[in-house]
Amino acid sequence: MDKEEPKAIINKILDKVRSGQIKMRPSSYFILKTILAVAVIFVVAASILFLISLIFFNLKASGVWYLPRFGFPALGPYIKLLPWALISAVGALILVLEILAKRFSFVYKRPLVYSLIVIALLVFMGSLILDRTPLHPSIFSSQEDPLKNPFYRDIGMMQEKGIYRGTVLRILEQGFIIETLEDSEIEILVDKDTKFIHREDLEKEDSVVVFGEEEEGKVRAKGVLEINDNLRDFPPFRPDNGPLHGPPESQDKMPL
């Protein structure tokens, strides 16, 4: 009985081969499969790069990136305001990339931690390079209402959380007015407790991040930081926005 079993399997398989029930897949099938796998890996890697650079852009454009500069009181809001959904999506995609890459022997022959470190380093460095290109500022500026785009929605929501990024329009006696990404003007009040972090006097057209609380339509600043990142001219300063309303202008510079 046992001796007959192997023959039975051989015969069954050979019968299927001879009758054409089973056929060899052509070489082109495997070549296409490999090309497809590489293409999927490329798309996933590109998505990770895009998302990380988007995280950097959103953090900088919203001002959250600079919160740690305001010291310990700003650390709590900083951690809370990090885009955790995007960060989780990047983590999940890195795992997907690792799983896809594991089909290649140079990946599975080494401990997982090595390939994870290499993937994380590559995507992080790629994202840093991408962050220095005008990719996101260009996409953002090309949209009619970018803050309604799900990618950039968080930027417009940071004001409700006490973070204001904008360009100084005018210096006032008790503060200054900034123009935000949403083209709105906000009056910032400063006092002796406000922490200033900038090298020179605050001037018109300076980019600033303000960490503070809203008080009767104005913002009482806990901290003001002058920034000089690659989004310095973003959005472009628009001096011709029409007549400004608000308290009288006092001077061009706010001394430290």
Task: Summarize as ranges the residues that interact with another protein (CB under 8 A).
Answer: 5-6, 8-10, 12-14, 16-18, 22-27, 29-30, 102, 105, 108-114
- State the nearest-atom distance from the C-beta of 24 to another protein, in Å: 5
Question: What distance in Å separates the CA atoms of residue 212 and residue 67, rounded to the nearest whole number?
Answer: 11
| Geometric angle at alpha carbon 21, from 16 and 24, rounded to 5° | 95
- State the nearest-atom distance from the C-beta of 20 to another protein, in Å: 11
Structure tokens at 203: 């001037």
Q: Residue 152 gets which letter from DSSP?
A: T
**229 and 61 in contact (C-beta within 8 Å)?**
no
- State the nearest-atom distance from the C-beta of 191 to another protein, in Å: 52
- State the nearest-atom distance from the C-beta of 27 to another protein, in Å: 5
**Closest-CA residue to 204 (of 180, 239, 171):** 171
Strand 218-227 to 185-189 pairing = parallel
- State the nearest-atom distance from the C-beta of 79 to another protein, in Å: 25
Residue 25 three-state SS = coil
Nearer to another protein, 111 or 217 (CB): 111
